[in-house]
A = this chain, B = another copy of it.
Amino acid sequence: MTPIIQLGLGGVGRALVRQMLAVAPTIRRRYGIDLRYTALVDSRGALAGDPALTDDQIQTVLTAKAAGHHIDSLAHAITDRHWLELLPATMAIVVDVTAAGSHAAPLAAAISAGHRVVLANKRPLCESYELFAALTERGATRYEATVGAGLPVIGVLQSLIDSGDEVRAIEAALSGTLGFLMSELERGVGFADAVRTAHQLGYTEPDPRDDLSGADVARKALILARTCGMHLPPDAVIAEPLFPATLKEISVTEFLQRLEEAEHEVMNRLQVASANGKVLRYITRISPDNGVEVGLRELPTDHPLASLRGPDNMISFTTNRYADRPLVVRGPGAGVEVTAAGVLSDIIATAREL
């Protein structure tokens, strides 16, 4: 059996548990791999099996989490020990689908002890370069879902590099929310109204500044750049925010009211681009020679990223072998089901190696 410890039971975490239960029998038949949950962990506690959780126990956790409860409310929950101590003596897979910033060091410790890691959580890969190197050495961590959710991005990049290709440039649109907003602006909607609508429809984070700051895109850019072999510190990638510093420290309600103060700058940029016969996109540009940029850029209308409409992600790889025409991947880059599927594929690939 391949023991799995899963950290995080939010949207992605619960979708992952459901998918895992659904496919485990097929995976057993197809590849002879027996995936079993050893422990499920949330921010307050864990439920551990001996050696594995039963389907009934797993369902109890799912039900409790879906109802907004925490694992510490369940019978036999463990609250006094760190998840590291729950790892079995045999090789296990630790899956981090939390939104926590605190797991990089313990995950690296798990790897030192011979375990493997799969991540949807970007933060462990965005701390010091040394921690990134410790997590990823010998392919000990898979992290496809951190960029583009279920789209093939990280695995493609690693395959290119492993086969001796060299990246010249990666150009990408990595935020569904910002993609949606730019399309709304192109349809003639004002920036403030577009953000308010996106917020109402639940297309943005609860605090829309989490999207508009570009911080999440910057994390994805840092992960891509480090995967390319660039030894970058965490602060090497600075995203251009789509609102002024004066709107930074206020409440969400006040921010939504004062959005007009951010509108002028963005609409102005859009008009200049348009007057130049170009389109405006919020993009990531990585090249080993010129570093990493994250922000609004004017693009010629025949640029691959210019064709993008709505919330799709797009990632374009130009390399020594894909020099004249890039390798391009496109599609929805967020959503709990596709993200969970990306994580599950990584778990299966890892288990096939153990």
> What residues of chain A have their CB less than 8 Å away from a CB belonging to chain B?
19, 22-23, 26-27, 30-32, 138-139, 150-152, 155-156, 159-160, 162-165, 307, 310, 312, 321-322, 324-332, 335, 337-338, 340-342, 344-345, 348-349, 352-353
Contacts and interface: CB of A to CB of B under 8 A. Distances in A.
A151 B353 CA distance: 23
Given A155-B155, A328-B331, A330-B330, A163 B321 contact: no
Nearest to A29: B138
**5 closest cross-chain pairs (CB), A and B:** A327-B331, A159-B345, A163-B341, A163-B344, A152-B152
Contacts of A31: 138-139
B23 A163 contact: yes
Contacts of A338: 321-322
Contacts of A139: 30-31, 352
Contact of A162 (B138, B335, B345): B345
A337 B340 CA distance: 33
Contact of A164 (B307, B329, B332, B341): B341
Contacts of A340: 163
Nearest to A314: B328
B341 A165 contact: yes
Interface residues of A, dominant DSSP: helix
Contact of A341 (B19, B32, B160, B337): B160
Contacts of A332: 322, 324-325, 327
Given A327-B150, A328-B330, A348 B30 contact: no
A16 to B, nearest CB: 10
Contacts of A310: 325
A141 B328 CA distance: 26
Contacts of A151: 327
A138 B349 CA distance: 13
A250 to B, nearest CB: 35
Contacts of A23: 162-164
Nearest to A324: B332
A261 to B, nearest CB: 33
A351 to B, nearest CB: 10
A138 B327 contact: no
Contact of A19 (B22, B26, B164): B164
A163 B19 contact: yes
Contacts of A322: 331-332, 338
Contact of A325 (B162, B321, B331): B331
